[in-house]
């Protein structure tokens, strides 16, 4: 993981021009970023924060420009994590210009952020995005007048289709080269401005270095807004007490004049100014069409929304399994027909026929095949579906409807999608928990994702339980796992310190997605998955190969015996496969048959020869519950840190052993 | 019973029960212990003392209820607390984010006649700095109480009077979204089973969880 500070400093040092991208969530900021940049995006974190900043370099007319993508935020305060990261990265980087992407259909709310950035003294260029949506809704926006009123360049854009983005970059470059001209600051009410000016003057007279080289006015405003970081800065000054008293004095005057705290007054005036400017630049030529709006409302109205949600979820699962399965079959067949024979020949030629060659083949042949058959088909399909749901805006309706259920687990509606995604593969699902704002929610959601049977574990349930025991017990495994998952979520919500933040989420009606933007986003995410998971799967396969081919695997039989035979009531050989399946979960069954044949002879290719139906059930249950696989552990460690990854893994092992032991005894009682 | 006859530690406990009932009902022993930073055994001891004085009863299911006498005392405590907040903000010019906590500490030890003197000094203010009404010396509430936003049904609208949870973070987050006092909020949808509210503010729409909506007090229009 890259530390943000060092990475940002290097990024800034190496590039002649730097641009930061800011904007509210869901205004098309990532479309601008994806269009501006190609490959080679670097992600940076601040220690202990889950929200990320992305850094990239782009060439525009022979000029190298650094682009920094900030998390989408409604404001630049220091209370919530996304705002803190956005502001800190912006202040640390000190970009030449901040490109603010605003939603033309919601101008009054969106202008709050650029006003705040101007207050902080940044040079701002506005991308007036979604002008096509605004046009369809009957809104015309005078961008030239908007530019005059704000005193900054404004470029209309349709980022999802790349329209206006060349002009946007040109405007940003012009602004970056504009020299020492300071941006015109927005003006608030007279008494507020007077209070700011007085405080700024006394700050300037102090003669102390201001944080991040901000202007006296910016620091004065932050102090009046009782910003935590600005107040902390003042407290540490030798004369901090006096400065804080001055600030409280000025804030008190504003509060007395308006009968509300200065921080709220300033927010109100900033909203007022944004609304005033928006009203001056927009004209409505016709009322917005109500058909789209009515359709959108159907997705949130409970009576129609829940059936629709059920349909979408069923559709999601069905697509995931059918398309994923078809792709998997295709890729497996292709690999076995075209690549595998050649690969085998080469490896055997180089290393002979011995254990070494076979171990290597476990890694490069079976390992790559596993990535092709499990990773790519399901993950790629899932990411594509996710892009569609996200870009149309349906994801918001999902979050809205599932919120009450998620609430019981200490989560809110936005966690529903990663949980569903877990049924395909846990790795992207855990990455998907980034939509959640706090570490607490991410830990809760990631743990629940780990308990979600992925396609690999489903393969074992289907291949062992459904085939040898029956459909009823196979479904029972899902029910048991669901019940345990719900219980675990409920329990963790009570045990973990803190409380989940309430849901406050902007909702927007459907948008017309762009296929290109969706494919791009899908590819971007998929690349991230491949980078994390593939090496782990290949190395895991190789290690498994070495352990198996050298016969080392049998050495674990004796130490495992008390747990496997005594507690779970399974044959020792089954315990071995449970232990090594952590390297490749879907291999548990295959490995079991292979080892059984080695131990009991050729007749053991039928599970029922050496395990009874109850044992098969227990076996699949334990296999489903404990650690998904080492790729999941790797991604957990990357996203949440090693300590939490090991804790979650340990928890799933304990849960699996407990459930397996109890199941074994209940089955014995019933028999 | 008068507040002066109750020791400060019990007043603090009583105040916390009243707040829990207002802000996050039902008030339970565990929630109370968490709020006061006590372990459950210590919280239980204080609750028993309150019960012994006829100020509290525990309903089946563990919900804590103040008796009528305790409600009267609680209102006096609210008055002290909000006057103190006014005093700390207006006179001592303490940062706004700190006054709530400081006032919490001082409330149990402030005598009622001192509170009355404080009110005279401040010119009998009607509301605390967060916009919540200050009860009069006779324990009556004159300012508009307001309806929590989550009591409204789909199709209804209200004007925000104030944000009840005296928590600067939430207040600022809502302020950044334009959910400020005097703003009109229309309810478009209320999700069933305790789900969120879909509200419209100006041209923007937000989903607000029930717990958040319960803190937003509005006047119905």
Q: Are residues B133 and B215 in the same domain?
A: no
Q: Give CA–CA dist A234/A208, Å, rounded.
A: 10
Whether residue A593 contacts residue A604, with contact meaning beta carbons closer than 8 Å, is answered with yes
Contact A267, A193 (CB under 8 A): no
CATH numeric code, A4-176: 3.40.50.300
- Mean pLDDT of all residues in A533-539: 80
For A236-249, what is the mean pLDDT? 83
B-chain residues within 8 Å CB-CB of A302? 189, 191-192, 195
Which residue is associated with the tokens 């449970």?
Answer: A578
Q: Tokens in use for B71?
A: 């409600």
If asked whether residues B161 and B131 sit together in one domain, one would say: no
Segment A132-149, tens digit of pLDDT: 988 988 889 999 999 988
* 8 Å CB contact of B207 and A396: yes
Q: What is the pLDDT of residue B76?
A: 83
Instruction: Give CA–CA dist A79/A110, Å, rounded.
Output: 19
Extract long-range pairs of A132-139: CB within 8 Å, 24+ residues apart.
A132/A158, A133/A104, A133/A105, A133/A511, A133/A512, A134/A104, A134/A105, A136/A288, A136/A289, A137/A105, A137/A288, A137/A289, A138/A284, A138/A285, A138/A286, A138/A287, A138/A288, A139/A104, A139/A105, A139/A282, A139/A283, A139/A284, A139/A285
| Residues of chain A neighbouring B20 (CB-CB closer than 8 A) | none
Largest CA distance in chain A: 91
**Are residues A263 and B96, on separate chains, in Cβ contact within 8 Å?**
yes
pLDDT above 80 (res A645): yes
Give residue A440's pLDDT.
Answer: 87
- State the CATH number of the domain containing residue B92: 1.10.10.10
Cα distance from A504 to chain B (closest Cα, Å)? Answer: 5
B64 and B136 co-located in one domain:
yes
ipTM of the complex: 0.76
Same domain, B58 and B124: yes
Distance CA A38, CA A22 (A): 19
Q: Which of B142, B171, B204 is the last residue of a domain?
A: B142
Q: Residue A105 burial by CB count (10 A; 0-12/13-18/19+): exposed, middle or buried?
A: buried
Q: Is residue B146 pLDDT above 50, yes or no?
A: yes
Q: Does B30 touch chain A (CB under 8 A)?
A: no
Confidence of residue A38 (pLDDT cuts 50, 70, 90): low
Residue A352, phi then psi, degrees to nearest 5: 80, -160
Higher model confidence: residue B65 or residue A374?
B65
A67 φ/ψ angles, rounded to the nearest 5 degrees: -120, 130
Distance of alpha carbon A556 from alpha carbon A667, whole angstroms: 27
- Which of chain A's residues have a Cβ under 8 Å away from the Cβ of B130? 261
Q: Residue A244: closest CA among chain B residues belongs to which residue? A: B95
Q: Which of the residues B85, B207, B210, B212 would you substitute to probe the A interface, choosing the one with the greatest number of A C-beta atoms within 10 Å? A: B207
B39-59 per-position pLDDT tens digit: 888 888 888 888 888 888 887
The answer to whether the beta carbons of residues B23 and B62 sit under 8 Å apart is no
Instruction: Determine the Cα–Cα distance for residues A214 and A118; give it in Å rounded to an integer.
Output: 11
Which residues neighbour A650 within 8 Å (Cβ) at sequence distance 6 or greater?
none
- Together in a domain, B41 and B129: yes
Q: Where are the domains of chain A?
A: 4-176, 190-284, 539-670
User: Which structural domain, as residue segments, surrounds residue B100?
Assistant: 1-142
Bridge partners of A121?
Answer: none
Candidates A115, A503, A506, partner chain B, best to mutate (most B CBs within 10 A): A503
- What are the DSSP E strand ranges found in A4-132? 17-23, 42-45, 52-60, 63-69, 97-103, 124-129
Q: Final residue of a domain: which of B83, B117, B142? A: B142
Tokens describing residue B97? 């984010």
B33 and B138 in a single domain? The answer is: yes
Helix or strand (DSSP H, E) at B184: strand B184-190
Residue A61, judged by CB atoms within 10 A of its CB (0-12, 13-18, 19+), counts as: exposed
Q: Which of chain B's residues have a Cβ under 8 Å away from the Cβ of A112? A: 176, 178
Q: Within an 8 Å CB–CB cutoff, is residue B208 touching chain A?
A: yes
Same domain, B210 and B137: no
Q: Are strands A124-129 and A97-103 parallel, antiparallel or unpaired?
A: parallel
Q: Which residues of B touch A249 (CB under 8 A)?
A: 93
Q: What is the pLDDT of residue B166?
A: 55
Residue A187: pLDDT above 50? Answer: yes
Kindly state the percentage of chain A with pLDDT values over 90: 20
Q: Measured between alpha carbons, how far is A141 from A102 in angstroms, rounded to an integer? A: 12
Nearest to A112 among B127, B168, B176 (CB): B176
**Inter-chain contact A261–B196, Cβ cutoff 8 Å?**
no
Q: Could you say which DSSP state residue A107 is in?
A: H
Residue-by-residue DSSP string for A79-100: SSHHHHHHHHHHHHH--SEEEE
**Cα–Cα nearest to A627, from A565, A540, A558, A557:** A540
Say yes or no for a CB contact (<8 Å) between A109 and B97.
Answer: no
Of A304, A287, A288, whose CA–CA distance to A509 is shortest?
A288
| Under 8 Å between Cβ of A477 and A620 | yes
Q: Are residues B128 and B178 in the same domain?
A: no
Instruction: Reduce the DSSP state of residue A647 to 3 states and report it.
Output: helix
pLDDT of res. A656? 94
pLDDT (average), residues A225-250: 84
- Interchain CB distance below 8 Å, A504 and B209: yes
Range list of β-strands (E), A90-242: 97-103, 124-129, 139-141, 154-156
A72-86, A462-476, B23-37, B152-166: least confidently modelled range: B23-37
CA distance A439 to A523: 26
Identify which of A497-506, A653-662, B3-12, B205-214 has the greatest average pLDDT.
Answer: A653-662
From chain A residues 401-440, the ones with a CB under 8 A of any chain B CB are 401, 403-405, 407, 412-413
- For residue A272, the chain B residues in CB contact (below 8 A) are none
Cβ distance of B191 and A302 shorter than 8 Å: yes
Task: Inform me whether the C-beta atom of residue B61 falls under 8 Å from chain A C-beta atoms.
Answer: no
Q: B206 and A505 in contact by Cβ < 8 A?
A: yes
When scoring A75, A108, A113, A271 by the number of chain B Cβ atoms within 10 A, the one with the most, hence best to mutate, is: A271
Residue A330: CA count within 13 A, CB half-sphere: 9
Is a pLDDT exceeding 60 seen at residue A634?
Answer: yes
Q: If we measure between CA atoms, which residue out of A9, A277, A324 comes closest to residue A150?
A: A277
- Spatial separation of the C-alpha atoms in residues A403 and A416, rounded to whole Å: 8
Inter-chain CB proximity B207 and A261 less than 8 Å: no
Domain termination site, one of B115, B142, B169: B142
Q: Is A153 helix (H, G, I), strand (E, B) or coil?
A: coil
Whether residue A271 and residue B172 make contact (CB cut-off 8 A), yes or no, is no
Cis, bond preceding B26 (omega within 30 deg of 0): yes
Q: What is the mean pLDDT of residues B126-138?
A: 73
Q: How far is B173 from chain A (nearest CA, A)?
A: 8
Q: Give the right CATH number for A190-284 from 3.40.190, 1.10.150, 1.10.287, 1.10.3470.
A: 1.10.287
Of the candidates A263, A245, A262, the residue with the CA atom closest to the CA atom of residue A202: A245
Mean per-residue pLDDT over chain A, rounded: 84
Calculate the average pLDDT of chain B.
81
Residues A63-91 pLDDT 10s: 888 899 998 888 888 777 788 888 988 98
CB contact B148 to A (< 8 Å): no
Mutate to test the interface with A, among B192, B209, B210 (most CBs of A within 10 A): B209
Q: Report A:189-248 residues touching B (Cβ under 8 A).
A: 226, 228, 231, 244-245, 247-248
Residues of chain A neighbouring B89 (CB-CB closer than 8 A) = 252, 255, 261
Give dist(CA A546, CA A580) in Å, integer.
12
Question: pLDDT tens-digit profile of A560-612?
Answer: 888 888 899 998 888 888 888 887 787 777 778 777 777 776 666 677 888 88
Written as six digits, the tokens of A508 are 């927007």
Q: Which residues of A touch B209 (CB under 8 A)?
A: 403, 407, 412, 502-504
- Smallest CA–CA distance, residue B68 to chain A, in Å, is 31
Contact status, residue A668 vs residue A613, Cβ threshold 8 Å: no
CB distance A116 to A125 below 8 Å: no
* Contact criterion met (CB < 8 Å) for B93 and A252: yes
Residues B159 and B103 in one domain: no
d(CA A10, CA A4): 10
Contact call for A249 and B198, based on CB within 8 A: no
Chain B CB contacts of A400 under 8 Å are 191, 195-196, 198, 207
Chain B residues in contact with A297 (beta carbon < 8 A):
188-189
My answer on whether B25 and B75 are in the same domain is yes
Which of A29-38, A328-337, A443-452, B9-18 shows the highest mean pLDDT?
A443-452
pLDDT for B139: 63
Answer whether A400 sits within 8 Å of B191, measured CB to CB.
yes
Burial (CB count within 10 angstroms: exposed 0-12, middle 13-18, buried 19+), residue B49 = middle
Confidence at residue A1, expressed as pLDDT on a 0 to 100 scale: 40
For residues B43 and B107, membership in a common domain is answered with yes
C-alpha angle A304/A308/A311, rounded to 5°? 150
Contacts of B196 in chain A (CB under 8 A): 400, 403-404, 413, 503
Buried b (16+ CB within 10 A) or exposed e, A364-398: bbbbbbbbbbbbbbbbbbbbbbbbbbbbbbbbbbb
CA gap A193, A186 in Å, rounded:
10
Q: What is the pLDDT of residue B3?
A: 67
Q: What is the pLDDT of residue B143?
A: 52
> Is residue B106 domain-shared with residue B36, that is, in the same domain?
yes
Cβ proximity of A375 and A533 under 8 Å: yes
Least confident of A169-173, A278-282, A545-549: A545-549
Interfacial B residues in 169-198 facing A (CB < 8 Å) = 169-178, 180-181, 188-189, 191-196, 198
Report the CATH number that the domain containing residue B191 is assigned in CATH. 2.30.30.90
Separation in Å, CA of A463 to nearest CA in chain B: 39
| Beta-carbon separation of B208 and A112 below 8 A | no
Please state, in angstroms and rounded to a whole number, the distance separating the CA atoms of residues A669 and A663.
10
Does the distance separating the beta carbons of A260 and B173 come in below 8 Å? no
| Chain A (296-325) residues lying within 8 Å, Cβ to Cβ, of chain B | 297, 300-302
Lowest-confidence region among A39-48, A207-216, A659-668, B148-157: A39-48
Highest mean pLDDT among A3-12, B24-33, B181-190: B181-190
Q: Which residues contact A296 (CB under 8 A, 6 or more apart)?
A: A393, A397, A509, A510
Each residue's pLDDT tens digit, A273-296: 898 899 889 888 888 777 777 888
User: Which of A75, A502, A506 has the CB atom closest to B212's CB atom?
Assistant: A502
A254 interface with B at CB cutoff 8 Å:
no
Contact flag B206-A403 (C-beta cutoff 8 Å) = no
Give the B window 67-126 contacts with A, CB below 8 Å: 89-90, 93-97
CB contact under 8 A, B177 and A506: yes
What's the pLDDT tens digit per position in A188-216?
888 888 889 989 988 888 777 788 888 88
Domain total for chain B? 2
């Amino acid at each position: 993981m890259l530390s943000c500070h060092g990475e940002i400093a290097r990024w800034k040092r190496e590039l002649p021009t730097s641009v930061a991208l800011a904007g509210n969530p869901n205004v098309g900021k990532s479309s601008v970023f994806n269009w501006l940049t190609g490959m080679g995006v670097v992600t940076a974190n601040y220690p202990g924060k889950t929200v990320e900043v992305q850094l990239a370099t782009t060439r525009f007319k022979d000029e190298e420009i650094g682009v920094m993508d900030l998390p989408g935020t409604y404001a630049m305060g220091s209370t919530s994590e996304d705002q803190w990261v956005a502001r800190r990265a912006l202040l640390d980087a000190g970009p030449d210009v901040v490109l603010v992407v605003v939603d033309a259909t919601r101008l009054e709310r969106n202008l709050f952020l650029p006003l705040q950035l101007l207050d902080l003294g940044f040079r701002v260029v506005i991308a007036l995005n979604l002008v096509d949506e605004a046009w369809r809704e009957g809104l015309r926006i005078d961008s030239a007048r908007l530019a005059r009123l704000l005193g900054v360049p404004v470029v209309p854009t349709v980022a999802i289709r790349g329209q206006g983005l060349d002009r946007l970059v040109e405007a940003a470059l012009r602004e970056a080269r504009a020299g020492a001209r300071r941006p015109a600051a927005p003006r608030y009410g007279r008494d507020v401005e007077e209070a700011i000016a007085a405080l700024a003057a006394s700050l300037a007279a102090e003669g102390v270095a201001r944080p991040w080289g901000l202007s006296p006015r910016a620091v004065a405003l932050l102090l009046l807004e009782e910003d935590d970081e600005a107040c902390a800065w003042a407290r540490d000054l030798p004369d901090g007490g006096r400065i804080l008293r001055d600030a409280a004095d000025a804030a008190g005057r504003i509060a007395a004049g308006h009968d509300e705290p200065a921080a709220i007054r300033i927010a109100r005036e900033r909203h007022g100014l944004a609304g005033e400017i928006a009203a001056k630049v927009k004209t409505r030529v016709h009322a917005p069409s109500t058909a789209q709006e009515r359709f959108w409302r159907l997705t949130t109205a409970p009576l129609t929304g829940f059936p629709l949600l059920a349909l979408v979820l069923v559709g999601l699962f069905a697509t995931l399994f059918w398309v994923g399965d078809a792709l998997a079959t295709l890729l497996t067949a292709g690999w076995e027909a075209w690549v595998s024979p050649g690969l085998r020949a080469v490896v055997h030629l180089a290393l002979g026929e011995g254990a070494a060659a076979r171990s290597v083949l476990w890694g490069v042949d079976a390992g790559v095949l596993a990535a092709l058959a499990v990773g790519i088909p399901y993950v790629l399909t899932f990411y594509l579906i996710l892009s569609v749901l996200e870009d149309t805006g349906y994801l918001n309706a999902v979050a809205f409807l599932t919120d009450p259920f998620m609430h019981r687990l200490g989560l809110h509606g936005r966690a529903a999608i990663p949980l569903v995604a877990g049924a395909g593969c846990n790795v992207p699902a855990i990455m998907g928990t980034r939509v959640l704002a706090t570490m607490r929610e991410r830990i809760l959601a990631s743990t629940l994702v780990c308990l979600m049977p992925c396609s690999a574990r489903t393969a074992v349930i289907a291949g062992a339980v459904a085939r040898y025991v029956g459909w009823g017990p196979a479904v029972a495994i899902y029910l048991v796992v669901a019940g345990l998952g719900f219980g675990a979520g409920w329990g963790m919500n009570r045990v973990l310190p803190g409380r989940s933040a309430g849901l406050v989420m902007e909702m927007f009606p459907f948008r017309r997605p762009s296929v290109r933007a969706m494919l791009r986003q899908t590819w971007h995410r998929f690349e991230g998955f491949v980078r994390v998971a593939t090496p782990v799967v290949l190395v895991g396969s190789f290690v498994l190969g070495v352990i198996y081919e050298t016969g080392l695997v049998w050495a674990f039989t004796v130490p495992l015996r008390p747990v496997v035979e005594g507690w779970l009531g399974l044959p020792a050989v089954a315990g071995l496969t449970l232990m090594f399946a952590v390297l490749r979960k879907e291999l548990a069954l295959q490995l079991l048959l292979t080892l059984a044949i080695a131990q009991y002879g050729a007749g053991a290719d039928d599970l029922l020869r050496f395990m009874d139906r109850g044992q098969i059930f227990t076996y699949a249950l334990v296999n489903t519950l404990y650690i998904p696989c080492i790729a999941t552990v790797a991604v957990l460690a990357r996203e949440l840190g090693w300590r939490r990854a090991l804790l979650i893994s340990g928890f799933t092992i304990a849960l699996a052993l407990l459930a397996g032991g109890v199941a074994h005894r209940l089955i014995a009682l019933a028999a | 019973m008068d507040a002066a006859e109750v020791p400060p530690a019990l007043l603090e406990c009583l105040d916390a029960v009243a707040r829990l009932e207002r802000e996050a009902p039902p008030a339970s022993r565990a929630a109370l212990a968490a709020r006061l930073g006590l372990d459950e055994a210590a919280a239980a001891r204080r609750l028993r003392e309150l019960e012994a004085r006829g100020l509290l009863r525990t309903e089946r299911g563990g919900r804590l209820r103040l008796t009528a006498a305790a409600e009267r005392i609680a209102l006096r405590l609210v008055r002290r607390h909000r006057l103190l907040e006014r005093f700390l903000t207006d006179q001592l010019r303490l940062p706004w984010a700190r006054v709530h906590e400081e006032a919490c500490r001082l409330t149990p030890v402030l005598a009622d006649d001192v509170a009355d003197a404080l009110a005279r000094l401040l010119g009998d203010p009607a509301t605390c700095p967060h916009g919540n009404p200050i009860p009069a010396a006779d324990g009556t509430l004159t300012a508009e109480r307001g309806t929590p936003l989550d009591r409204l049904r789909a199709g209804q609208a209200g004007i925000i009077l104030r944000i009840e949870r005296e928590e600067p973070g939430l207040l600022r987050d809502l302020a950044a979204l334009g959910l400020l006092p005097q703003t009109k909020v229309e309810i478009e949808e209320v999700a069933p089973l305790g789900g969120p509210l879909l509200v419209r503010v100006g041209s923007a729409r937000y989903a607000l969880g029930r717990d958040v909506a319960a803190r937003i007090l509005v006047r119905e229009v």
